[in-house]
Amino acid sequence: MLTPEELQKENDRLKAELATYQAAQKAQQQQKGNFIKRLGSIGSWFFLGGDLKQSIKQLVIEARDKNQTISDDTLGNVLAHGAWRLTRIGCFAVLVALIPLLILMIQTTLLYYQNKKLDVQNELFNTQNSEVKEQNTLVRNQNELLTTQNTFFKQQLEQIDTQNTLFRLQNIKVGEQTDLLANQNGLLYTQNNFLRYQTIQIDTQIKQASIQNRLVTAQNRRLDQQTNLQEAERRSSLVFLFSNVMDAIDRELREDYDTDSIRNLSPQLIGRVIALTSRLKPYRYLDGDSLISKPLSPERGQLLVSLVESQLDSSIYFSIFQKANFHDADLIKSSLDFVYLKGIRLTRADLRGAQLRGINLQGAFLMKANLMKANLMGANLQGAYLSAANLSNTDLSLANLSHAKLSESNLSNANVAGAILRKGIFYGVDLSNADLNLSDWSGAILADANLINVDLIGADLAEVDLEGANLIGITLYETNFINVKLNNAMVDSVFFIKNLKKRKVKGYEVINERYYVDPVSIKDPIWGDYYLIKEKSTQD
């Protein structure tokens, strides 16, 4: 039970809450009255207008005053403002009345477009119905095909059953065949064992045969050596005759044949020398443990050296060399500097590394001779025959080869600086990497020659035939090319002719008028890309 103090506190709290509620209600009612007043004020202002309200207020004031009559201005203002306000309200009413019409127009437009869409939709529905009808027709056809397919499936199943039966029979046969193959494999295994054993025997037999072949080859080589040695032994029987001839030469020279103080020989002795050269045949002899590759005659070489050392008169040498046979003579590394061998016959002779400085080989026959690395500096080879000779790495500097015939010869890496080769014949000669500077080739024929990487600085090639020659990589400066023939010559630059002017080549103007370089390059696995020089008349 509450005490009086607590009741008093509770009563005060309730009074305070009631006062707060009443104040809130009063404020809400006051706010609502204010809103109505503002709304009435706005309505009266909108419908009556501020000026009309003021004129009506003035009219009421004047009407209340009994002592004063209503003035015309006040009454005019009320009527004028009333008429203007009625007009304003009428315009607003017209605008309000137009809104439904506008809405109806919009609605009519929307209905129009909606009807058009419905028409399109109806057409689509019609098209869809046609498609559905066609689809139904296709479905019926499909059903008929499915029925036919089912019939085929049934037939196929029956055939599969038949096929399965055949497979079962086939599997039985395969099983039987497998058993037969197993038996066959057993037989093959046994056969392979026999073949392995046979292969081992054959390998052993092949090894034995190989050993036998090597022995036979060695035996044949020894037989060949023996045969050649027998031939050499038979040739050695001529040593006695060789010695007699040399003794006779020595005797006639001592006794001064013809008593004319000339180192000459009698015709009979000259004949014996010529006959001896014919009997000294070439053969293969042992060089170390093997035979030399081609037959040579050391005796002919020895005879020639002996004759040269005898210092005979040049007329005697000429008489001997005109008929004597020194073909295939072995003259490797011989020393024959400044000797007289005019017209000598040295075809296929081996003169590798020989010292032949200043030698006179005018008109000599040296076809297929091997002169590799020989020293022919200042030699006289005018009119010599050197076709197919090997002159690679040979020193021919300052030599005279005028009118010489060297077709198909090998002069690669040779030193021909300052040599005279006028009107020589050099068809297809190999002069690759040779030094030809300051050499005189005027009037020579170098058609189809190989002059790759050749040095022709200061060389004279006036009226030289270079048709078809390989001129790739040649070095030219102040070279004489007057009236040179260059048709089909191979060059490594399409500007070859233009560059002749820069290198001060004589005869450039005529070459430029007569020839041109074909701009179409030719590919070669050896030379690479090259160009051909053509005559302008051919182009026309």
Question: Using CA atoms, how far apart are residues 493 and 474, in angstroms rounded to an integer?
Answer: 11
- 324 in a structural domain: no
Asked if residue 368 belongs to a domain, the reply is no
| CA distance linking residue 115 with residue 93, whole number of Å | 34
* Within a domain: 52: no
Q: Is residue 18 part of a domain?
A: no
Asked if the structure places residue 510 within a domain, the reply is: yes
> Distance between CA atoms of 368 and 360, rounded to whole angstroms?
19
Residue-number span of the structural domain to which 471 is assigned: 411-540
CB 280 within 8 A of CB 246: no
Residue with tokens 């035996």: 219
Provide the 3-class DSSP secondary structure of residue 428: coil
DSSP code for 291: E
Q: In 48-71, which ranges are continuous DSSP H helix? A: 50-64
Angle at CA 51, nearest 5°, toward 46 and 53?
Answer: 70
Profile the chain (540 residues) by mean pLDDT over runs of 10 residues: 72 78 77 64 55 71 69 73 69 73 83 82 78 80 84 84 83 83 82 82 81 71 58 61 84 79 87 90 80 88 92 91 94 94 95 96 96 97 97 97 96 96 96 94 96 94 95 94 95 93 94 93 86 78
- pTM score of the predicted model: 0.58
Q: What CA–CA distance (Å, rounded) separates 56 from 202?
A: 151
- In whole angstroms, give the CA distance from residue 376 to residue 401: 11
Task: Give the residue from 238, 381, 253 showing the smallest Cα distance to 316.
Answer: 253
Q: Which pair of tokens denotes residue 200?
A: 């081992």
Distance CA 291, CA 232 (A): 12
**How many domains, the chain?**
1
- Is there a domain that residue 78 lies in? no
Q: Token match 């990497």: residue?
A: 433
Task: Decide the pairing of beta strands 490-491 and 528-535.
Answer: antiparallel
379: left (phi over 0), alpha (psi -120 to 50) or beta: beta
- Is the residue at 294 inside a domain? no
Q: pLDDT value at position 435?
A: 94
Cβ-based neighbours of 221, under 8 Å, separated by 6 or more = 290
Q: Is residue 450 part of a domain?
A: yes
How far apart, in whole angstroms, are the C-alpha atoms of residue 34 and residue 38?
A: 6
